[in-house]
Homo-oligomer: A and B are copies of this chain.
Amino acid sequence: MSQIETIASRKWVYLFEEGNKDMKTLLGGKGANVAEMRAVGLPVPPGFTITTEACNEYYHNERQMLPGLREQTLEALKHVEKLTGKTLGDKTNPLLVSVRSGSPLSMPGMMDTVLNLGLNDDTVEGLATQTGNRWFALDAYRRFISMFGRIVLGVDEEKFSRVLERHKAQTEGKRDTDLSIMQLEDVIASYKRIVYASLNEQEFPQDPLEQLRKAISAVIESWMGKRAVDYRRVHRISDMLGTATNVQAMVFGNLGWDSGTGVCFTRNPSTGERMLYGEYLLNAQGEDVVAGIRTPHPIAELQKELPECYGQLVEITQRLEQHYQDMQDIEFTIERGKLWMLQTRNGKRSGVAAIRIAVEMVAEGVIDQTTAVGRVAPEQLDQLLHPMVDPDAQVTVLTVGLPASPGAASGQISFDPDEAEQLAAEGQAIILLRDETNPDDFHGMVAAQAILTARGGMTSHAAVVARGMGKPCVAGAGALEVNYAQQICTIAGSTTYLRRGDWITLDGSTGRVLLGKAPTIQPQFSEYFTTLMQWADAVRTMGVRANADTPQDAATARKLGAEGIGLCRTEHMFFGEERLPIVREMILAESLAEREVALEKLLPFQEQDFFGIFRVMEGLPVTIRLLDPPLHEFLPSLEELLQSLADLKFTVQRAQNLADMDVVLRQLWEKEKLLKQVHRLREANPMLGHRGCRLSIVFPEIAAMQARAIFQAACKAQSQNIKVLPEIMIPIVSTPEELRLQLDVVRRTATKVFGEQGTSVEYLLGTMIELPRAALVADKIATHADFFSFGTNDLTQTTFGLSRDDSARFLPTYIKEKIFLEDPFQVLDREGVGQLVQMGIERGRSVKPDLKIGICGEHGGEPSSVEFCYQAGMNYVSCSPFRVPIARLAAAQAALAGVKRDT
């Protein structure tokens, strides 16, 4: 057989009678579900589906129509004609059909539909006779010409609507339905002239078969239309799925007041309540409902208007829900009292609804608990955990940035972290607005209700810290230009600007920046939520911990179900008004002795912090990472210093007398000394610089102080009968020797402290795996470690050679060009970084089979990454407290999916 013959002999067209709900890949969602409804005996207008394979083959074949497709379509059409007793193009009893797209994954509104196909100057009269309603027939014809004109022939819709508007303006009611038959005839004539002019003097196609062929092509073409491609990019849908095309006999909801059309859900999609929920319009076509010209009625009213149909609908929708074992989103049409089902599919629902429906369906015996666990998308839980902007409220959107940390909050703008702290202390609600944030701004972020930055990505400092604190954050709102000097912020493309003290509301779940105080809704944990999470925990095999640096965060985490702390960052304890000066003293120390004096002063602070966390986490493990960032993060910025030096030099010149001058000169001298240190510690690439264990290898006394604080706190807790399980972790390890040396310091300190205290505490020692080399030599590193914790933020940075702080300038282009399908700092890059993670796990366990392994990067709370961690064989994931429920559910779903590597 030649290739053409092979193609021609393939089956491109399926009658509805030939399909079922499991054939979505081939027939698309709509085609499969319509076939299924027909199969279970529901009233469905006859029709057929052209497969997704035909679509793919079409693109594969340089957009040539496929051999065999025409023949198979005509045959299927004959079948529909036979079932309906009508014939396409027949002047007296014409068949009209709809041509609709339908891809395997729902892409609502993204592709094209043609209704009323088959009408022409002759059949319109046949339709008039057939229905006994000439007005209806003409109305259908004018709708068809404009729809076909726009979608298939590419005529500017504007031209049609201008004509229609002109005619409507001449009627009393100014509505479509007020047009007279003569006016409709005029409209049709004008429409045909528009097409003729637009198509280079070609008539509107009168041959229904030509109409059908062209409409099918147009639907298939719409798969690669800009709208559809963009949608797929955003929703991560492959171009390779293709769309099916459904050709179906028309039924009409606009044939009088015993006709109508509607959509309904088997449960309330916002709350999940079990009820028939939806709306309908009598004497209307589906597009009227969508267009919003007439206000549809709540579905319950149909019971009064058409009680028989309503009863039938209730019965059918319940059957459908039972059949699909899930909440259904259903489209129907009533033609002269007869109910027709046009579409059913699993209904989209809010997070709240998803949980309630899942839990109630278990109670009803429709599904089992594990199915219920799989029914809620983990990300949907986010809505439940944070206040949200009231979706019904009227709001003014100033600009949209990245949805960096979910939740909503209102406050007055402050550009300065110190001011923010002070105003917050006075009881004001503050939104901290910065170009971008750095660790020096931490106290201002703590004080603020929410954080807004003009720069930085989803994993910028602001975003990470805000998520850690569970505070809303909108990051990288690029339209904002902050002017600290004038304390204002302009918005590109807008004449509005924001001043210090202005009220705004941030919607961290969508990235919206709203003017003024927008009304918000507070989160609440329903009993449905609690039940679902219990079921999730029952199937989950991987642990979930939280990243928490303070007793407050730890308490939140525990409340949200964290089974321990997977990452306690000790550097956050180095900031704070009382501590920073001591930390600087330590950094500026010129000898070991001086440095030890400063460390001695820091010790009680650290000990107190650790004790607080141990108390909150009683009985659960707490993984503490020793100091990680480079020391210069604790010094003022170079720019700041240069500025104050310039100011001081200016002051010197204006000094009134020698005494004044002396004072200023002293200050100058101090600043210059500091400047020298800042210069000395400045790094070209701090991310790759003198940080983590590299610091404590040069200054082992820092690790010793931290270890002492941990062990003293642990001993104290234990003496108060608080069970402590400290796990100490060394950052930025790339060689086994680094780990060995650091752990020696920790072990020696433990022995010393236990000796002093006359007691001892069990503890584990481990390492971060956050550099490619650590993963590559994990077997050698594992000999020294009780556990590994994958720091996938840094591992992503180093594996890609990509600084997350600097990626904002090109990441958008990378997403647009599909170089990255996802931001690798949000979703773990399985292809690259994932290889190193797997290597690290396999090699680590090759020498120590019971090595405890977790992840503590941002990815630990992202569902797809959690799934990967499960598959790779990790013991636990750790994430920000407010993502703990998400991780729990994602881990449960991963366990249900059941693919796990043997390591």
A residues touching B (Cβ–Cβ < 8 Å)? 638-639, 642-643, 646, 683-690, 694-695, 697-698, 732, 734-735, 737-738, 741, 770-773, 776-777, 794, 797-803, 805-807, 809-810, 813-814, 817-820, 829, 831-833, 835-836
Contact = CB atoms under 8 A, between A and B. Distances in A.
A737 B815 CA distance: 11
Interface of A is mostly: helix
A737 B816 CA distance: 12
B697 A819 contact: yes
Question: Nearest 8 A-B pairs (CB), nearest first?
Answer: A688-B803, A685-B803, A773-B832, A689-B806, A771-B801, A684-B805, A772-B772, A737-B819
A778 to B, nearest CB: 11
B820 A735 contact: yes
Given A771-B800, A777-B832, A799-B773, A810 B697 contact: yes
22 contacts: A638-B638, A646-B646, A684-B686, A684-B806, A685-B685, A685-B686, A685-B687, A685-B688, A685-B803, A688-B801, A690-B810, A734-B800, A737-B817, A741-B819, A771-B799, A772-B801, A773-B800, A773-B829, A776-B832, A777-B831, A798-B799, A798-B801
Contact of A776 (B694, B770, B773, B799): B799
B684 A684 contact: no
A90 to B, nearest CB: 53
A814 B695 CA distance: 11
A776 B801 CA distance: 13
Nearest to A630: B806
Nearest to A833: B773
A694 B810 contact: yes
Contacts of A819: 697, 735, 737-738, 741
A734 B639 contact: no
Contacts of A690: 806, 809-810
B773 A688 contact: no
Contacts of A835: 776
A814 B742 CA distance: 13
Contact of A809 (B698, B732, B773, B820): B698
Contacts of A801: 687-688, 732, 734, 770-773, 794, 798
Given A772-B799, A773-B801, A833-B773, A688 B734 contact: no
Given A646-B646, A698-B810, A777-B831, A818 B685 contact: no
Nearest to A741: B817
Contacts of A646: 646
A813 B800 CA distance: 28
A817 B737 CA distance: 9
A187 to B, nearest CB: 46
A674 B818 CA distance: 33
Contacts of A698: 809-810, 813
Contacts of A810: 690, 694-695, 697-698
A369 to B, nearest CB: 40
A820 B734 CA distance: 10
A814 B770 contact: no
A830 to B, nearest CB: 11
A835 B771 CA distance: 14
Nearest to A737: B819
A875 B829 CA distance: 31
A296 B882 CA distance: 83
Contact of A687 (B684, B771, B799): B684
Contacts of A809: 689-690, 698
Contacts of A638: 638-639
A647 to B, nearest CB: 10
Nearest to A805: B684
Contacts of A802: 688, 734
A639 B646 CA distance: 12
A807 B686 CA distance: 10
A794 B801 CA distance: 9
A841 to B, nearest CB: 15
Contacts of A771: 799-801
A734 B797 CA distance: 11
Contacts of A732: 801
B686 A688 contact: no
Contacts of A694: 810, 814
A799 B642 CA distance: 35
A484 to B, nearest CB: 12
A731 to B, nearest CB: 10
Given A642-B642, A771-B799, A772-B836, 8 more contacts: A683-B803, A684-B806, A685-B685, A698-B809, A732-B801, A773-B829, A773-B832, A798-B799
A347 B160 CA distance: 99
A840 to B, nearest CB: 12
A568 B296 CA distance: 70
A685 B685 CA distance: 4
A540 B741 CA distance: 42
A771 B832 CA distance: 11
A687 B832 CA distance: 20
Contacts of A684: 686-687, 803, 805-806
